[in-house]
Amino acid sequence: MNPLTDSDKRKGAISVRGIAEVENVANIKKTFNRHLHFTLVKDRNVATPRDFYLSLAHTVWDHLVSRWIRTQQFYYDQDPKRIYYLSMEFYMGRTLTNTMTNLGLTQAIDESLYQLGLELEELEEIEEDAGLGNGGLGRLAACFLDSMATLGLAAYGYGIRYDYGIFQQKIADGWQVEEPDDWLRFGNPWEKARPEYLLPVNFYGRVETARNGAKKWVDTQVIFAMPYDTPVPGYGNNNCNTLRLWTAKAPQSFNLHSFNSGEYISAVCDRNEAENISRVLYPNDNFFEGKELRLKQEYFLVASTLQDIIRRFKASKFGSTAHVRTDFTAFPDKVAIQLNDTHPSLAIPELMRVLVDIEGLKWEEAWDICVKTFAYTNHTILPEALERWPVATLQYCLPRHLEIIYDINQRFIHLVLEKFPGDMDRVRRMSLVEEDGDKRINMAYLCVVGSHAVNGVARIHSELIKSDVFRDFYAMWPEKFQNKTNGITPRRWLLLCNPNLSELITEKIGFDWVTDLFKLRGLESLQNDQNFLRELMKVKDQNKRKFAEYIDREFKIKVDPSSMFDIQVKRIHEYKRQLLNCLYVITQYNRIRDNPQGKHAPRTVMIGGKAAPGYHMAKLIIKLINSVGRVVNNDPIVGKRLRVVYLENYRVSLAEKIFPAADLSQQISTAGTEASGTGNMKFMLNGALTIGTMDGANVEMCEEMGRENMFVFGMSVDQVKELGQRGYKPREYYEKNGELRRCLDMIRDGAFSPENPALFQEIYNNLVNHDRFMLLADYEDYMRAQEEVSAAYMDTNKWAKMSLLNIAASGKFSSDRTIMEYAKDIWGVDPHGIKLPAPHEKPLSDEAAAAAVAAAGNKKGAK
Ligand SMILES: *Cc1c(COP(=O)(O)O)cnc(C)c1O
């Protein structure tokens, strides 16, 4: 515990902040009370904790507004090139603490609430996560928004405002149960509806050809898109960008024909159907489902966003050469559009449609503009994740777009034959239209053809897309292919979520790391400073205790904070190999039971993550983990040496509690399957050590920290490939390794499901006979690496040093670095952004910034 009393801490904080901050505190209290009265219409006697949270949110919002208006006005005046980040997912999590952090308000607000007799930490917990994403891809978009605002890029996020985000996961009798995520139930104080900017989006209908050959999409059904804007403040720079999310609104005239025939009530009821487009996020991670509603969502995003982008271009000083036709040749100099995976890929035919059918440009002119404007990020090479829309679905929903895709394909094939004359096999392989079976459009190929830059998300993944999925395209356009290794924002994932560690780091190397994460290298010189290593472990210990209390409170499970917190949190997927982790737990269970007197480093194994509701095997894996946990946790022979905890409802706000408390990070996907991973980076930044395969960004993490600081195991990409070609026979591993066989037999024979012994037979059969992700081939080496982990954990000093060297080496994985690379190499804008002139409200002084770093989210106050 902190030896200072609360009031001591507050006095200390006040004296550093000085008079201006005292005024600020007085102002905040006044604004807070005004909102409680006028906005929430409550007095202190009847106000609920939610009323207090909302008053606080409105108070913080008030601090954003001038910055937001000023920034947008500045962009209009300067007319810099705009960056548009199109994504079907923005996994934002909570906004209150992040806004306070980026605006440098944490301390003043903490003090204000204290004076009002309220607890900031308690109010924070009332906010619902904005869970408009599934996992890594959506969270990446959110980290990128923070970095783009912090760097000062004139950037916009565009997405869909789903009424229901990713489902809430409940665990009942060990099984996952999904509940709808009604995140808007109590209103959202972080958005501004813009009903005055409604835009039409068309569906269905047919294509008419005029006598001059011009095409017209007619007899369509119109749905309106209504924007909601969310401010995206930069850290410490007074910038404020916009995340614009669209919601579907039925037009007044929707189903008017039945209205006319007297069916008024049913006509009004039918409006719901139109508005279903933005109802719910599809809960699949790395999986293509091919539903019509999903296609309509994708087009809804793209059509409304492009109208907005073109309107802004035309309204800019550059675009508005009054009364004459807009000159679109300047469009790619003023607009960059980044496609977050293929989900917004219809933007390519849609921009072609607008330019050719509506603006009257020639095909070649329009195509040149398209390719220069678009860039595409690939997120996976798993075949089941690649979007391949049936031609029939496109024909029905978007007939004109299908025509345009065919036209793009025809010209593209011509180009292929120019470069590779007569190579019809190549043409068949590269065609955007897949002819085998039901005809489909390969959306990834469309993106490669329609973009000037294609990037993977970690070095190894970017190499794989060149040699694998896009091999033929790489042969044709090697210059298009790039790597942009993913990153995470150090604001949310260290400063905000781990105030104890932030403060310790800042004491030693100053606070520049917050916006220049490479500065963490400065910690390397402390690797033999025993005092510092002890302090580092003390911080970890405090964080573990706090998280243990949380687990006890929320999940009613007691864990030992001195045991190793061994954590795997991510979506449940066979390729991520939670089952391999499970095999370790069972092996360790057997070893403890076989040799209760042996030396076993005590572990608390925590696994968390959501399974897609339709993914049978993933749901069975959750049940197995919980079943193994029940057996292990209730075995008196095992005692405290092994515990298994399922971290229910893994989401951004829970992640913020997990990473600071982690000792060991499990990143154990089959080499070649995890494109990058970003969870791996969050663990590293918070001082957890990694046990992992040479996959995704693990490879680069290992390179940065040195192999001696990571527990690397398993086959390489080449070895996986080779074994696959040789013919992988998992049963041979089962027969060879007695410990492995015992684990699998226990699963098969119902050792963890005595009430239903056959329950997990499917898992056994799958692993022993198929094992697509080669768990059995990697098992032995994984056990070896786990032994190394245990030995290292027993050597506290060694562990502390490794932890420090992990943190010191994590600078590369700031999303600021990632975004600077996109800016330079893809978008053609200055990676240092544009500087907003000084506002009336001063930007953070060095002292105030240092104090904010020390205080972000905690109650310690500054020195
Ligand atoms: C970072 C993050 C992810 C991505 O984790 P991976 O281990 O890279 O798959 C998923 N979900 C949440 C809530 C996250 O914060």
Per-residue pLDDT of 45-95, as tens digits, reads: 999 999 999 999 999 999 999 999 999 999 999 999 999 999 999 999 999
The whole-number pLDDT of residue 848 equals: 62
Ligand 1 neighbourhood includes 139 CB (under 6 angstroms): yes
The whole-number pLDDT of residue 23 equals: 75
Catalytic member of 95, 101, 678, 690: 678
The whole-number pLDDT of residue 2 equals: 40
Ligand 1 neighbourhood includes 573 CB (under 6 angstroms): no
Instruction: Report the alpha-carbon distance of residue 160 to residue 53 in Å, rounded.
Output: 25
The whole-number pLDDT of residue 3 equals: 43
The whole-number pLDDT of residue 846 equals: 60
Instruction: Report the alpha-carbon distance of residue 358 to residue 307 in Å, rounded.
Output: 12
Average pLDDT over residues 803-816: 98
Catalytic annotation present for 571: yes
Catalytic member of 312, 576, 623, 748: 576
Ligand 1 neighbourhood includes 570 CB (under 6 angstroms): yes
**Confidence band, pLDDT 50/70/90 cuts, at residue 859:** very low
- In the CATH hierarchy, which top-level class contains the domain 490-714+780-813? alpha beta
* Among protein residues, the one whose CA lies closest to atom 8 of ligand 1: 677
Ligand 1: atom nearest CA of 651 is 13
The whole-number pLDDT of residue 266 equals: 87
Report the separation in Å between the CA atom of 662 and the middle of ligand 1, taken as the mean of its atom positions.
14
The one-character DSSP state at 526 is: G
Ligand 1 neighbourhood includes 641 CB (under 6 angstroms): no
DSSP calls for 208-275: EE-TTS-EEEESPEEEEEEEEEEEEEPSSS--EEEEEEEEEE--TTTTHHHHHTT-HHHHHHHHHHHH
Report the separation in Å between the CA atom of 719 and the middle of ligand 1, taken as the mean of its atom positions.
27
Catalytic annotation present for 576: yes
**Confidence band, pLDDT 50/70/90 cuts, at residue 516:** very high
Report the separation in Å between the CA atom of 218 and the middle of ligand 1, taken as the mean of its atom positions.
43
Ligand 1: atom nearest CA of 576 is 9
The whole-number pLDDT of residue 686 equals: 99
Q: State which of 134, 281, 569 you would mutate to test the pocket of ligand 1, scoring each by most atoms of that ligand within 8 A of its C-beta.
A: 569
**Confidence band, pLDDT 50/70/90 cuts, at residue 284:** very high
Catalytic member of 343, 571, 577, 610: 571
Ligand 1: atom nearest CA of 652 is 13
Catalytic member of 94, 379, 492, 610: 379
Report the separation in Å between the CA atom of 250 and the middle of ligand 1, taken as the mean of its atom positions.
35
Q: Does position 6 have pLDDT exceeding 50, yes or no?
A: no
Contacts of 615 (CB under 8 A, 6+ apart): 284, 287, 572, 573
Mean pLDDT (the chain, rounded): 94
Q: Does position 725 have pLDDT exceeding 80, yes or no?
A: yes
Ligand 1 neighbourhood includes 608 CB (under 6 angstroms): no
Listed in order, the ranges of the chain carrying CATH 3.40.50.2000 are: 79-94+129-486+817-835, 490-714+780-813
Q: Does position 14 have pLDDT exceeding 70, yes or no?
A: no
- Tokens matching residue 400: 């004109």
Report the separation in Å between the CA atom of 377 and the middle of ligand 1, taken as the mean of its atom positions.
18
Q: Please check whether residue 387 is in contact with residue 444, taking contact to mean a CB–CB distance below 8 angstroms.
A: yes
Ligand 1: atom nearest CA of 677 is 8
Angle of helix 578-594 versus helix 738-749 axis, rounded to 10: 100
Ligand 1 neighbourhood includes 655 CB (under 6 angstroms): yes
Q: What residues are paired with 159 via a beta bridge? A: 245
Ligand 1 neighbourhood includes 456 CB (under 6 angstroms): no
- Tokens matching residue 188: 């959202």
Report the separation in Å between the CA atom of 135 and the middle of ligand 1, taken as the mean of its atom positions.
5
Q: Does position 24 have pLDDT exceeding 60, yes or no?
A: yes
Report the separation in Å between the CA atom of 626 and the middle of ligand 1, taken as the mean of its atom positions.
21
The whole-number pLDDT of residue 260 equals: 67
> Which of 573, 577, 23 shows the shortest CA–CA distance to 283?
573
Model pLDDT for residues 26-53, shown as the tens digit of each residue = 999 999 999 999 999 999 999 999 999 9
> Which of 487, 493, 496, 64 shows the shortest CA–CA distance to 241?
64
The whole-number pLDDT of residue 9 equals: 44
The whole-number pLDDT of residue 369 equals: 98
Report the separation in Å between the CA atom of 577 and the middle of ligand 1, taken as the mean of its atom positions.
15
The whole-number pLDDT of residue 861 equals: 32
Q: Does position 7 have pLDDT exceeding 50, yes or no?
A: no
Q: Please check whether residue 337 is in contact with residue 82, taking contact to mean a CB–CB distance below 8 angstroms.
A: no
**Confidence band, pLDDT 50/70/90 cuts, at residue 21:** confident
Report how far apart, in Å, the C-alpha atoms of 13 and of each of 135, 847, 848, 854 are: 38, 12, 11, 10
Report the separation in Å between the CA atom of 389 and the middle of ligand 1, taken as the mean of its atom positions.
27
Instruction: Report the alpha-carbon distance of residue 111 to residue 91 in Å, rounded.
Output: 30
Q: If 0-12 CB within 10 Å is exposed, 13-18 middle and 19+ buried, where does residue 425 land?
A: exposed
Catalytic annotation present for 859: no
> Which of 311, 609, 654, 373 shows the shortest CA–CA distance to 497?
654
Ligand 1 neighbourhood includes 136 CB (under 6 angstroms): yes
Instruction: Report the alpha-carbon distance of residue 858 to residue 840 in Å, rounded.
Output: 28
Instruction: Report the alpha-carbon distance of residue 723 to residue 777 in Å, rounded.
Output: 9
Task: Please count the residues of the chain.
Answer: 863
Report the separation in Å between the CA atom of 417 and the middle of ligand 1, taken as the mean of its atom positions.
43
* Among protein residues, the one whose CA lies closest to atom 9 of ligand 1: 570
Report the separation in Å between the CA atom of 705 and the middle of ligand 1, taken as the mean of its atom positions.
21
Average pLDDT over residues 716-731: 98
Ligand 1 neighbourhood includes 249 CB (under 6 angstroms): no
Query: What are the backbone dihedrals phi and psi of residue 576, each rounded to the nearest 5 degrees, phi first?
Result: -80, -10
- Distinct helix (H) and strand (E) counts, the chain: 34, 25
Ligand 1: atom nearest CA of 93 is 13
Q: Does position 217 have pLDDT exceeding 70, yes or no?
A: yes
Ligand 1: atom nearest CA of 609 is 11
Instruction: Report the alpha-carbon distance of residue 214 to residue 259 in Å, rounded.
Output: 34
Q: Does position 622 have pLDDT exceeding 50, yes or no?
A: yes
* Among protein residues, the one whose CA lies closest to atom 15 of ligand 1: 652
Model pLDDT for residues 246-255, shown as the tens digit of each residue = 999 999 888 7
**Confidence band, pLDDT 50/70/90 cuts, at residue 10:** very low
Q: Does position 261 have pLDDT exceeding 90, yes or no?
A: no
Report the separation in Å between the CA atom of 753 and the middle of ligand 1, taken as the mean of its atom positions.
30
The whole-number pLDDT of residue 243 equals: 99
Q: Does position 478 have pLDDT exceeding 50, yes or no?
A: yes
Q: If 0-12 CB within 10 Å is exposed, 13-18 middle and 19+ buried, where does residue 569 land?
A: buried
Instruction: Report the alpha-carbon distance of residue 453 to residue 472 in Å, rounded.
Output: 16
**What 3-state DSSP class applies to 335?**
strand
Report the separation in Å between the CA atom of 51 and the middle of ligand 1, taken as the mean of its atom positions.
31
Catalytic member of 570, 643, 748, 801: 570
Ligand 1 neighbourhood includes 678 CB (under 6 angstroms): yes
Which helix (H) or strand (E) element contains residue 298? helix 292-315
Catalytic annotation present for 678: yes
Ligand 1 neighbourhood includes 486 CB (under 6 angstroms): no
Q: Residue 542: how many CA atoms within 13 Å on its side-chain side?
A: 14
Q: Does position 583 have pLDDT exceeding 50, yes or no?
A: yes
> Which of 618, 586, 625 shows the shortest CA–CA distance to 783?
586
Q: Does position 226 have pLDDT exceeding 60, yes or no?
A: yes
Report the separation in Å between the CA atom of 792 and the middle of ligand 1, taken as the mean of its atom positions.
26
* Among protein residues, the one whose CA lies closest to atom 10 of ligand 1: 135
Ligand 1: atom nearest CA of 569 is 7
CATH architecture assignment, domain 79-94+129-486+817-835: 3-Layer(aba) Sandwich (3.40)
Ligand 1 neighbourhood includes 381 CB (under 6 angstroms): no
Report the separation in Å between the CA atom of 609 and the middle of ligand 1, taken as the mean of its atom positions.
9
Q: State which of 89, 132, 139 you would mutate to test the pocket of ligand 1, scoring each by most atoms of that ligand within 8 A of its C-beta.
A: 139
* Among protein residues, the one whose CA lies closest to atom 4 of ligand 1: 136
Chain-centroid distance of CA 599 in Å reads: 40
Model pLDDT for residues 670-722, shown as the tens digit of each residue = 999 999 999 999 999 999 999 999 999 999 999 999 999 999 999 999 999 99
Model pLDDT for residues 440-451, shown as the tens digit of each residue = 999 999 999 999
Instruction: Report the alpha-carbon distance of residue 57 to residue 128 in Å, rounded.
Output: 12
Q: State which of 570, 653, 813 you would mutate to test the pocket of ligand 1, scoring each by most atoms of that ligand within 8 A of its C-beta.
A: 570
Catalytic member of 682, 748, 801, 812: 682
pLDDT more than 90, % of the chain = 90
Query: What are the backbone dihedrals phi and psi of residue 244, each rounded to the nearest 5 degrees, phi first?
Result: -105, 120
Catalytic annotation present for 860: no
Catalytic annotation present for 291: no
The whole-number pLDDT of residue 12 equals: 41
Ligand 1 neighbourhood includes 135 CB (under 6 angstroms): yes
* Among protein residues, the one whose CA lies closest to atom 11 of ligand 1: 135
Q: Beta strand pairing status for 664-667 and 564-569?
A: parallel
Q: If 0-12 CB within 10 Å is exposed, 13-18 middle and 19+ buried, where does residue 317 land?
A: exposed
Instruction: Report the alpha-carbon distance of residue 621 to residue 777 in Å, rounded.
Output: 19
Tokens 């593209």: give the residue: 412
Q: Does position 862 have pLDDT exceeding 80, yes or no?
A: no
Encode burial over 137-170: b for 16+ CB neighbours within 10 A, e otherwise. bbbbbbbbbbbbbbbbbbbbbbbbbbbbbbbbbe
Q: Residue 582: how many CA atoms within 13 Å on its side-chain side?
A: 31
* Among protein residues, the one whose CA lies closest to atom 6 of ligand 1: 679
Instruction: Report the alpha-carbon distance of residue 586 to residue 632 in Å, rounded.
Output: 8
Q: How close are the terminal C-alpha atoms of the chain, in Å?
A: 18
